[in-house]
């Protein structure tokens, strides 16, 4: 398996861990019956629980782009050192983003997000 596909698998694993962390945070603020409901009208999560939820949602917004770019690069046989670097920047940037977001460090969080976006751009440029 290529490094791009390997990092895609790890990115999916990271997304799954993020949902578990977000659920753990939510369970600290709401009881099980509330969490099992349709959750309409609940107040927003606060503190690290809210940050974990927002980090997870942000990953869900970015993951489809990474999936599409990696799969297109694979299908088109356009993987190379640059796409490998892009995949690494995306994964490590997203991992850092998740940790920094939950920790509540705003500007560093933005920098980690930017690293992941640069990774996406590098892969995209190889497909043009």
Predicted confidence at residue 42, as pLDDT, reads 74
Domain map (residue ranges) of the chain: 3-127
pLDDT at 20 over 70: yes
By the 8 A CB rule, do 79 and 73 touch? yes
Give rounded-to-5 percent helix, strand, coil for the chain. 80, 0, 20
Closest alpha carbon to 9 in 66, 56, 77 = 66
Class of domain 3-127: mainly alpha
Q: How confident is the model at residue 36 (pLDDT cuts 50, 70, 90)?
A: low
Q: What is the pTM of this model?
A: 0.92
d(CA 71, CA 74): 5
Structure token digits, residue 102:
């939950």
Element (H, E) at 6: helix 3-27
Average pLDDT over every residue of 86-104 = 97
């Amino acid at each position: 398996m290529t490094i791009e596909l390997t990092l895609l698998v790890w990115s999916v694993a990271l997304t799954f861990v993020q949902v578990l962390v977000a659920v753990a945070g939510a369970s600290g603020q709401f009881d099980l019956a509330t969490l099992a409901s349709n959750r309409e009208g609940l107040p927003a999560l606060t503190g690290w629980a809210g940050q974990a939820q927002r980090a997870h949602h942000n990953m869900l917004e970015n993951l489809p782009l990474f999936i599409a770019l990696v799969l297109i690069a694979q299908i088109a046989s356009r993987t190379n050192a640059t796409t490998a670097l892009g995949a690494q920047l995306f994964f490590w940037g997203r991992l850092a983003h998740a940790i920094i977001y939950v920790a509540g460090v705003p500007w560093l969080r933005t920098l980690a997000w930017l690293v992941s976006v640069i990774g996406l751009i590098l892969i995209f440029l190889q497909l043009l």
